[in-house]
A = this chain, B = another copy of it.
């Protein structure tokens, strides 16, 4: 294909986005250059601005433009609870529930040997430092219920065992609004094993 090199470069660069293959990258490049040049310009500038300003919160490791993020600076949250999540997106989901008002620690990933992410790459020393410094009495592990998330949860639980902390894991079970008929067998098995007495 004899496309102009700047267009080829753009198509190649777009492929660094997750889930974008050669066809989508072509379609995106065409859309940006033909139909939405202001959008392309805004995207370029916000990429540069984000690269310049975004860093990790010294306490919870999430993205922030400051030394310590707003949530960690807040005085309205329970300092005794620390919820460990994989990504800032998961943290935002937890916040949306309005069911949690403690602190967070964001792993910014998960243990995933297939992707070359081991314990060292996750940089768990920062989490341990966070626990050393704080008044945390309970750690709630809220990694995903995928294989990688479960391995990470298991590793974290082992690592924290020696400390005088309550370590818990968010519950697995049938989703709210879920129908038994359509729930997978693994989830249902877990829901049976972790059944709750109604007398409680």
> When A33-B50, A50-B29, A51-B40 are in contact, do A63 and B13 touch as well, CB less than 8 Å?
no
Contact with B along A1-39 (1 / 0, CB 8 A): 111111101101110111100001011111111111101
How many Å lie between the Cα of A42 and that of B12 in the bound state?
9
A30–B88 contact, CB under 8 A? yes
Scoring A33, A44, A47 by chain B CB atoms within 10 A of each residue's CB, the highest score goes to A47
Contacts A18-B31, A24-B19, A33-B63 given: A6-B41 contact, CB under 8 Å? no
A9-B50, A16-B39, A47-B47 known; 15 new pairs, CB 8 Å cut-off, are: A2-B70, A3-B92, A4-B53, A4-B54, A5-B65, A6-B46, A7-B50, A13-B45, A13-B46, A17-B17, A19-B24, A33-B50, A33-B54, A41-B47, A41-B48
Q: How far is the CB of A148 from chain B (nearest CB, A)?
A: 14
Q: Are A14 and B43 in contact (CB under 8 A)?
A: yes
Q: In the docked arrangement, what's the CA distance between A109 and B40, Å? A: 18
A4 partner residues in chain B, CB cutoff 8 A: 53-54, 63-65, 69
Bound-state CA distance A4–B70 (Å) is: 9
List residues of chain A with CB under 8 Å of any chain B CB. Answer: 1-7, 9-10, 12-14, 16-19, 24, 26-37, 39-54, 63-65, 69-71, 87-89, 92, 95-96, 108-109
Determine which of B13, B54, B71 lies in contact with A43 in the assembled complex, contact meaning CB atoms within 8 Å.
B13
Q: Which residues of B contact A47 (CB under 8 A)?
A: 10, 13, 32, 40-41, 43-44, 47
User: How many copies of this chain sit in the oligomeric assembly?
Assistant: 2
Nearest-neighbour CB distance to chain B for A33, whole angstroms, equals 5
A16 touches B32 (CB 8 A): yes
**When the two chains form their complex, are residues B51 and A41 in contact, meaning their CB atoms are under 8 A apart?**
yes
Chain B residue numbers with a CB within 8 Å of A33 are 50-51, 54, 63
Within 8 Å by CB of A28, from B3, B13, B17, B70, lies B17
Name the residue in A18, A28, A37, A46 with the highest tally of chain B Cβ atoms < 10 Å from its Cβ.
A46
